[in-house]
């Protein structure tokens, strides 16, 4: 199975589970307050957001007052709550006198919980998944002090002012403990200077304007622990295979010029000319070996370099029991909520972040998942997607849960209920906006695919 297919299956599974649980949150509070739920659907049984178009379901079954079903349009889901203006836009039912079992007959605080039910459920799901992850796998991170060979930087890092071999000690003068917090601090916390040790001296690296945009456009980490040059995989049909290179070989020189790290190899390799004879000096099981070949036209010999920093640097691991795992799941969830909110806010407030480069649709979502399935990675990303759904649904846009919450808060503060006509018009406008955003985001994905 191809990597793209694995990503697509993971995306479909994660979204299906999370949408189902989100809608169950609304369903739970509706039934808790004795409100009738007419439909509970995973996916839409119409062409969203047009409730009158292509109305059919793949499966449906009536149980009690509720029709449970599987729609054909796989980008969402909904519960149709009696006496409420929602995605179904059933305005005819709203013309009838209110009934005791309807949403509009319930107290404002009860309606508020019904509307927040999906968001609450998404947060609970994220806490539960993170708690499971921390309970089973614990939490690992690389302390900055343990990256004893310093950092390796790409062209973006070099343009900022970093050099491979620098040892990061602080961000804006504040000591940094975890290696992964370096990039986060620069992008999301607005760090202005990074203090590094370079050739035995402390140096301030000033972060120039435009750095955030460069990092985000790079789509990979511009800074990483500096890694020794060790071969982890060899393509037998490539030049590396012909040269007899083997997994576990350490490359210590090219044409007699000594090298030790991956970044030094890149610089030296690109100083050679395609077609040039190259002799690699290797350490293989403690023995020095020479291997000679020709530098290919694309300057790729055909081997993969070891990238797992945990094999060379000591990671800190925190183990959790069942109780502490839940506590860490709770705190980590709200750390991620704050992180995602910061990312979302930057689209509108940062001069360096462009929506056309940061917004994506279903393809971008799929690419977040690993092309090789791993339970821990899948669960981590599923929990984060649950947070995304919670935050996005809380936005004050009519048609989303947050839009209804705004109207309810207005009612609770002023004592005046927003008219059903206003609700209908606001929901129509909101659904049009959501459609436009959907078209825009997925259109960007298509443009990116064909512009490569």
Q: Token pair of 86, please?
A: 């929602």
Contact assessment for residue 99 and residue 83, using Cβ atoms and an 8 Å cutoff: yes
- Tell me the whole-structure pTM to 2 decimals: 0.85
Checking if the pLDDT of 87 tops 90, the result is no
Residue 198's nearest CA partner among 164, 227, 158, 246 is 164
pLDDT, residue 86, reads: 65
Q: Does residue 49 have a cis peptide bond before it, meaning omega lies within 30 degrees of 0?
A: yes
Name the least confident of 192-201, 241-250, 264-273: 264-273
Average pLDDT over residues 28-46: 94
- The pLDDT tens digits of the residues spanning 348-368 come to 777 777 766 667 777 777 888
- The pLDDT tens digits of the residues spanning 298-349 come to 889 999 999 899 999 999 999 999 999 999 999 999 999 998 888 888 877 7
Rg (CA), the chain: 27
CA distance 191 to 185: 6
Contact assessment for residue 28 and residue 113, using Cβ atoms and an 8 Å cutoff: no
Better pLDDT: 413 or 87: 413
pLDDT, residue 89, reads: 55
329 CA to centre of own chain: 17
- Average pLDDT of the chain? 89
Q: What does residue 372 show for φ and ψ, rounded to 5 degrees?
A: -115, 120
- 287-294 vs 250-254, strand pairing mode: unpaired
* Sheet containing strand 257-258, strands side by side: 257-258, 250-254, 277-284, 287-294
- 37-44 vs 66-71, strand pairing mode: parallel
Q: Which domains does the chain have, with CATH numbers?
A: 3-134+380-451 (no CATH), 144-225 (2.30.42), 231-303 (2.30.42.10)
3-class DSSP assignment, residue 189:
coil
Checking if the pLDDT of 88 tops 60, the result is no
Residue 227's nearest CA partner among 253, 268, 261 is 261
DSSP assignment of 145-180: GG-TT-EEE-HHHHHHT--TT-EEEEETTEE--BTT
- The pLDDT tens digits of the residues spanning 240-258 come to 999 999 999 999 999 999 9
pLDDT, residue 343, reads: 83
Q: What does residue 402 show for φ and ψ, rounded to 5 degrees?
A: -60, -30
pLDDT, residue 104, reads: 87
Q: What's the full length of the chain, in residues?
A: 452
CA distance 154 to 141: 22
3-class DSSP assignment, residue 363:
helix
Q: What does residue 29 show for φ and ψ, rounded to 5 degrees?
A: -70, -30
């Amino acid at each position: 199975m191809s990597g793209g297919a694995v990503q697509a299956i993971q995306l479909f599974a994660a979204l299906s589970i999370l949408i189902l649980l989100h809608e169950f949150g609304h369903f739970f509070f509706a039934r808790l307050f004795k409100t009738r739920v007419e439909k509970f659907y995973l996916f839409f049984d119409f062409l969203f957001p047009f409730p009158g178009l292509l109305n059919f379901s793949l499966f449906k079954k009536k149980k009690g007052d509720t029709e449970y079903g599987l729609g054909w349009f796989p980008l969402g889901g909904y519960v149709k709550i009696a006496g409420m203006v929602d995605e179904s836009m059933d305005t005819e039912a709203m013309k009838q006198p209110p009934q005791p079992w309807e949403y509009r007959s319930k107290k404002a605080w009860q309606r508020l919980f019904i509307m927040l039910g999906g968001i609450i459920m998404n947060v609970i799901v994220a806490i539960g998944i993170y708690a499971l992850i921390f309970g089973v796998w614990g939490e690992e991170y690389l302390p900055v002090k343990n990256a004893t060979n310093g950092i390796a930087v790409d062209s973006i890092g070099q343009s900022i002012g970093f050099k491979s071999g620098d040892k990061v000690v602080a961000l804006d003068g504040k000591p940094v403990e975890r290696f992964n917090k370096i990039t986060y601090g620069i992008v999301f916390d607005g760090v202005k200077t990074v203090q590094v040790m370079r050739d035995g001296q402390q140096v301030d690296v000033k972060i120039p304007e435009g750095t955030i945009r460069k990092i985000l456009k790079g789509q990979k980490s511009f800074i990483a622990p500096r890694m020794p040059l060790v071969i982890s995989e060899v393509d037998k049909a490539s030049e590396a295979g012909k040269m007899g290179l083997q997994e576990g070989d350490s490359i210590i020189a090219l044409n007699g010029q000594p090298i030790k790290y991956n970044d030094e190899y890149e610089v030296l390799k690109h100083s050679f000319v395609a077609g040039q004879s190259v002799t690699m000096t290797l350490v293989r099981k403690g023995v020095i070996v020479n291997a000679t070949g020709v530098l290919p036209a694309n300057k790729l010999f055909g081997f993969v370099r070891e990238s797992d920093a945990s094999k060379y640097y000591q990671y800190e691991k925190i183990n959790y029991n069942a109780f502490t795992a839940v506590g860490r799941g709770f705190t980590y969830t709200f750390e991620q909520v704050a992180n995602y909110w910061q990312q979302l806010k930057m689209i509108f407030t940062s001069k360096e972040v462009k929506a056309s480069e940061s917004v994506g649709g279903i393809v971008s979502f799929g690419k977040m998942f690993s092309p090789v399935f791993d339970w821990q990675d899948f669960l981590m990303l599923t929990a984060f997607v649950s947070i995304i759904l919670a935050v996005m649904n809380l936005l004050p846009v009519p048609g989303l849960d947050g839009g209804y919450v705004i109207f309810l808060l207005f009612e609770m503060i002023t004592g005046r209920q927003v008219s059903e006509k206003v609700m209908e018009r606001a929901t129509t406008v909101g659904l049009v906006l959501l459609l436009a955003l959907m078209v825009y985001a997925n259109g960007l994905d298509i443009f990116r695919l064909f512009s490569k």
